Amino acid sequence: MKLITIILLLFLPFNIFSQASDIDMTKIQSEIDEYGVPTVGSVDQMLINADRLYDNRNWQEAADAYALFAKNANWLANLLSSGLEPYYSASYDDKKNINYSIISPLVQYETKANYYKSQRNKAILRQGVCFYNMNDHKTSLTFILKALDLIGIKDTDQWKEAREILYSIVKY
pLDDT above 50: residue 7: no
Q: What confidence score (pLDDT) does residue 2 get?
A: 55
DSSP string for residues in 29-47: HHHHHHH----HHHHHHHH
Which fold does the domain 38-169 belong to in CATH? 1.25.40
Q: What does the alpha-carbon distance between residue 149 and residue 151 come to, in Å, rounded to a whole number?
A: 6
pTM (two decimals): 0.82
Per domain, the residue ranges of the chain are 38-169
* CA atoms within 13 A of residue 145's CA, in its CB half-sphere: 8
How confident is the model over 33-38, as a mean pLDDT? 90
pLDDT above 50: residue 152: yes
How confident is the model over 20-44, as a mean pLDDT? 87
161 within 8 A of 143, measured Cβ to Cβ: no
pLDDT above 50: residue 139: yes
The answer for residues whose C-beta is within 8 angstroms of residue 162's C-beta and 6 or more apart is 125, 128, 144, 147, 148, 151
Type of residue found at 82: S
pLDDT tens sequence across 44-70: 999 999 999 999 999 999 999 999 999
